[in-house]
Each structure stands twice: as C-alpha cells, then as structure tokens.
Structure 1
Amino acid sequence: MISATFSYGFSGLQTAYQGMTRSAQDIASANTVDAAGVRDSATEINAGLTGTADTNTALISLKQNLHLFDASARVVSIADQQIGSLLDITA
C-alpha cells in the first residue's frame, strides 16, 4: 500500500515536471521569430500584438502543473512519514 503511494507520488512529480517543462518551452517560444526576423504565420503576428491565447494557456498549464507537483510532493512526504511511523511502532 505505501509503496503504491510512493509510486503514485513519484509518477505525479514526473508528470508535473514534464508539463512544466512543456509549458515553459511554449512560453519561451511564444514571441520568437525565424532567422530572417519574420514570424511564421499571421496568427502568430496577431497573437504577438494582442497577447496570445496560447501564451495564456501555457501560463495556466504551468500553474496547474505546479499545483500537481506540490500535491505529489505532499503524497511522497506523507508516505515517508507513514513508513517512519510504522518503523517506530515495530522497533
């Protein structure tokens, strides 16, 4: 039971980390231009002028993944405390 809790916690940490990395890359590349200094499409040009929906979505996703990371870290911490309590009881 506790080992499964660790697995879920670590899986959540990994998923959150990957999501934060993906969101950070989306945010960083939101206002980039190609080598000639030209944006790839008219959509990107308009988005750059008005504040992109994609950037907003990436920021929201980043915040959601941050909460997932925090929650998963708490799961791992609680499982660690449970193991410590069990060891104290049996010792």
Structure 2
Amino acid sequence: MCLGIPGQIVEITDADRQMAMADVSGVRREVSLTPVATGPLEDLLGQWVLIHVGFAMAVIDADEAAATLEALRGLGEAQETLEAMAEGQRALEGVQ
C-alpha cells in the first residue's frame, strides 16, 4: 500500500535540483518537486501536495488536503482501538 501525506510547500530550497521545504502537520521536510514541476517552481509555493517517500506526487487543493489529514488521523485512532482490542483479547485468553 502506498500512502501519500499532504504537505504545503513553504520554501524552494534548491531550484537546480527542484527541491523544496514542505510543512507536514507542523513538521518540515525537504521534498523533490520533480514529479509536479510543470512551470516555475515559485508557482508551487503555498500549494498543497501529496508526498510519498520524499517526492511531491500530486498537487491537491486545500479541501482535499484537510480531508486526507482527517482520514489519516482517523486511521491512527482506528489502529489504536484495534491494538487495544487485541491486547484485551490476549488478556482474556491468558485468564481462561
């Protein structure tokens, strides 16, 4: 499964290498803009992108970024719930 994380492009760090700084939920990461660079890199400043393994794979709008971030938060909560359920099941099996 491939997972793209939304990030907002906040700075061009190396135009020659098409690298930029993206803000991902308050954490800044350097990403390659090569897959989405169709014009001047400055046009991407402030844009939201889906980031996968250090590459901006697609430009998305702010609404899609917000919805994706919310879904990812939900997945994290779901994973915590599943882990708690599994732990509870293991405890029950140990009691029997």
Bucket of the pairwise TM-score, normalised by the shorter protein: 0.3 to 0.5
- Which of the two has greater strand per residue? 2
TM-score, normalising length: structure 1: 0.48
**TM-score where L is the length of structure 2:** 0.45
Question: Which of 1 and 2 has higher RCO (CA within 8 Å, sep 6+)?
Answer: 1
